[in-house]
Structure 1
Amino acid sequence: MKKKIIISMHYMEIGGAESSLIGLLEALDPSKVDIDLFVFAHHGVFMSAIPNYVNLLPEDNGYAMMEEPLAMVFKKGHPLIGMARLLAKWKMNRFYKQNPSEKDRSAGFAYIGNEVGRVLHNLYNFGEYDLAISYNYPHNIVLENVMAKKKIAWLHTDYRHISINENLEFPIWRKYDQIVSISPGVTEGFLSVFPSLKDKILECENMLPKAYIETKATQASIDKEVDVLTLCSVGRISNAKNYDNIPNMASELKELFKLHGSKIKYKDFKWVIVGPGDHSTIDALSEDLGVRDNVIFMGPSDNPYPYIKGCDIYVHPSRYEGKSIVVREAQVLCKPVIITNYPTAVSQINNGVDGVICELDNKSVAEAIYALVMDSNRQSTIINYLKTHDYTGGAEVEKIYSLIGLNDNMEK
């Protein structure tokens, strides 16, 4: 008899968690498990990537209000949810006022889940599952509103770099049977905050939908000048991504081009950045530093993969990451990758083998790009390695099967 799994996700917009969820769905074997997918709000480009053997549960009007603009929540006739979200916002602001921190303020979903979860109806009408997976925040929903013999929550973030209310989150995490961490670095960061939860950790690499990535990468072509080096970075403009320093990195790289122009096969470079967010301040800095024509923001895209496929080097200059999905996606597309030495970097790249790790400062990033450009043999070695290795992580699904007593030898 097949096992029943339900997976909860807030939406399916372009993002690392969404991409890895599609990878997990593709890795799950429909001959072994029946899969229900509960997406709070049915929007996002990855909705169309959900495999046809996955049972997409109907959108629920209440759950869909989790991230709608507040005015829209009230307009659509959900005053209780609107009031709960206002209360969550007030509590969150009070917490940060009492606990000022330079870290990213990422506690919002925990407050929303805590308050809004109280006024949402449960999902017991879907029946009892063998396994319930909360794939992203808020983790209250699966914990409190789903019937399942076993429940697990996915951990995507390095807790060393976000400001959270430990007293609010701990009671949620500790009630899960397992906490799935995407990398050793993410595990280390989480346990630095919640050391007593060590025995609940299950490390499981992100799973990526290779066929989907490769297909999307060929759906458009990017105009490229042969004698212009094309760099690419993909992601939302945020403190974590460190895009505010790209103009400085580009300025350093431009100086290297000037100093060593006769040795470089490219006459110039373009750094293409794909992702949402306000880049007006970064544009102004680029103008001041004389790299306005080099640093190019493309804005958000439903399909960033042609940009990755069309670049010469993928650069990921983050201040911190859990484990970047887009770095793996670039490796799936066999692109040389340069990442900064954030705390979880060594779990992402085998330095010099399948990518390059450089120090987290502007000059070091520029020098790493220049060094890779000048070493065509190293580029070829990295590309050839990527072509012969699997970066989809599909075998990790066995860890999920083991939680519900499944294995390769079971009768189908």
Structure 2
Amino acid sequence: MKTKILFFITSLEGGGAEKVLVNMVNNMDQSKYDITVQTLFDTGINKQYLKDTINYKYCFKKVFRGNIHLFKLFSPKYLYKKFIKEDYDIVVSYFQGATTRIIAGCSNEKIKLVQWIHNEFKDKQQLVNCYRNQNEFEKLQKRYNATVYVAKTSMEAYHRLFPNLITTNHILYNVVEADRILELSNEEETEIIKNDQYLNLISVGRMVPQKAFDRLIRIMHKCVNEEKKSVKLFLLGIGPLEQELKDLVKKYKLENNIYFLGYNTNPYKYVKNADLFVCSSLHEGFSTAVTESLIVGTPVITTECSGMRELLGEHQEYGIITNNDENDLYKSLIDLINNPSKVDILKEKAIQRGKVFKVDERISKIESFFDELI
């Protein structure tokens, strides 16, 4: 008999966690697992990539304002009964938030509950804001049979905030389809033109505060307008801050140096053709975009975020990790612009590191985790 697993997530938008969830369920053994992905809201570009063998459900057709506050009016037990109509062997909240509170309302003790934590939380409120208060949060967290973290630093950060909530912990790295990424990266693109006269930078992600594209634009302002460096930046993604970021580019007169490529189903061909990938994020979980950059052999410079040392080496053997500070990222980037030979060395390291991301090995560990849980 197959193990029935439900993965519950807010939506299948274009974020890294959503993409990784689709990669994971698509590659799990369909002869062993009966898998359902359920979203609170039926939105998101990643839904189209789910295999036909994966069951898909949703609670609401569209996102509505104030949903977090509305959910808090009802008990988790009521919400679970309302939204989760079937019995499963394992129910997973794949992203910390409203779904984590709802799943904790499960009253069937035979069902194993799992939460997946993607971010390195530094403030208790980031975790508590979907709950009525901290007491409710801590009470409901204890309902979970296991907690999965995508990076060691994510686990350590959670433990610092809530040392009394340490339960059964597991670190399971994100599933990335390396072979497919490499194949797609060979498609032709005409936006990024190789030129020895300037450096092509790229960054990929939703245009939200977390990604801190605004400080990357300010860094470009210093590089181009103050230091007179020949450099271009390509931003790949969409999001609520898109117009604000475009206005910032105009303010600094960087229209000939910063290009918005929008959303593309194949970001890999752009990343491969760039000289350097820049991650300016305030925080990450285990960066899918950085992982994909290494797979296609594009060197990485990033701010210090959860999972970066696991990706780039504890001593930065495979890329550059700066302090999570605008000025430090700027100084390290200027050093690379001034020393192209360092970029060449980093590219060799990226190619070397990109070879370790094997789907089969990661899926095997995830399946073993589920098998042992039941």
Pairwise same-fold verdict (TM > 0.5): yes
Shift of 1:19: 1.2
Task: State the 1:187 CA deviation.
Answer: 0.9
Residue 160 (structure 1) aligns with: 122
Structure 2 length-normalised TM: 0.82
Match of 2:89, as an amino acid?
A: D
Give, in whole Å, the separation in 2 of the partners of 1:114 and 1:303.
Answer: 41
Alpha-carbon distance between aligned partners in 2 of 1:329 and 1:341, rounded to the nearest angstrom: 18
Q: Which moved more, 1:296-305 or 1:315-324?
A: 296-305
Q: CA separation in 1, counterparts of 2:103 and 2:173?
A: 22
Q: Write out aligned runs for 1:119-138 (5 A).
A: 121-122=81-82, 125-127=85-87, 129-136=88-95, 137=97, 138=99
Which residue, 203, 220, 223 being the options, matches 2:171? 203
* Counterpart selection for 2:101 from 129, 140, 145: 140
In the alignment, which residue of structure 1 is the partner of 2:240? 277
Structure 2 residue aligned with 1:395, among 346, 352, 362?
362
Alpha-carbon offset, residue 279 of structure 1: 4.1
Counterpart for residue 150 of structure 1: 112
Residue type matched to 2:47 in 1?
A: M
Partner secondary structure for residue 335 of structure 1: coil
Equivalence for 1:23: 23
Verify: 1:307 aligned to 2:270, yes or no: yes
Does the CA-based 8 Å contact 1:358-1:368 persist in structure 2? Answer: yes
Q: CA deviation at 1:231?
A: 0.9
Quick one: distance in 1 between partners of 2:188 and 2:157?
Answer: 39
Q: Give the aligned partner of residue 207 of structure 2.
A: 237
Alpha-carbon spacing, 1:317–1:123, altered in 2? closer, same or farther (3 Å) = closer
Q: Give 1:278 deviation, angstroms.
A: 2.5
**Higher mean C-alpha deviation, range 21-30 or range 286-295:** 286-295
CA-CA distance at 1:12 after TM superposition: 1.5
Q: How many residues align?
A: 357
Maintained 8 Å contact 2:272/2:296: yes
Q: Deviations over 1:354-397 (max 9, x none)?
A: 22112333343234334445125413421331343226584254
Q: CA deviation at 1:348?
A: 3.5
Change (3 A) 1:372 1:392: farther
| Pairing 1:64–2:34 present | no
1:369 paired with 2:324, answer no
Map residues 180-259 of structure 1 onto 2, 5 A cutoff.
Answer: 180-218=148-186, 221-227=189-195, 228-254=198-224, 258=228
Identity, in percent, stands at 20
Aligned partners of 1:237, 1:123: CA distance in 2, in Å? 30
For 2:186 and 2:344, locate their aligned partners in 1 and report how far apart those are by CA, in whole Å: 26
Shift of the 247–41 alpha-carbon distance from structure 1 to 2, 3 Å rule, reads closer
Task: Tell me the TM-score normalised to structure 1 length.
Answer: 0.75
Moved more, 328-337 or 394-403: 394-403
Q: Alpha-carbon deviation of 1:145?
A: 4.9
CA RMSD of the aligned region, Å?
3.1
What is the deviation of 1:16? 0.8
Residues 113 and 140 in structure 1, CA contact (< 8 A), matched pair in contact too = no
**Mapped partners of 1:146, 1:214: distance in 2:** 45
- Is the contact made by 2:285 and 2:305 (CA closer than 8 Å) also made in structure 1? no
* Alignment CA distance shift 1:49-1:215 (3 Å): farther
Which consecutive residues of structure 2, in runs of 5 or more, have no partner in the other structure?
A: 129-133
Paired AA for residue 331 in structure 1: L
CA-CA distance at 1:317 after TM superposition: 1.0
What is the CA–CA distance in structure 1 between the aligned matches of 2:186 and 2:247, rounded to whole Å? 33
CA drift at 1:292: 3.6
Check whether the contact 2:79–2:105 (CA below 8 A) recurs between aligned residues. Answer: no
The residue identity in structure 1 corresponding to 2:329 is: V
Paired with 1:222 and 1:394, the residues of 2 have a C-alpha distance of: 35
Deviation string 1:320-349 (CA, Å, 9 cap, x unpaired) is 222222111222222111101246532332
Deviations 1:117-155 (Å, cap 9, x if unpaired)? 53574466523x322211123213333258553110111
Contact kept? 1:208, 1:394, Cα under 8 Å:
no
Task: Point out the more displaced range, 321-330 or 297-306.
Answer: 297-306
1:371–1:396 CA distance, 2 compared to 1 (3 A)? farther
Read off the aligned partner of 1:44 and give its amino acid letter: G
Aligned to 1:385: 352
Deviation track 1:189-247 (CA, whole Å, cap 9, x = no partner) reads 11122111223322211112334434554566242222242211112233322211122
Q: Residue 340 of structure 1 aligns to which amino acid in structure 2? A: T
Structure exhibiting the larger radius of gyration computed from Cα positions = 1
Q: Secondary structure at the match of 1:141?
A: helix
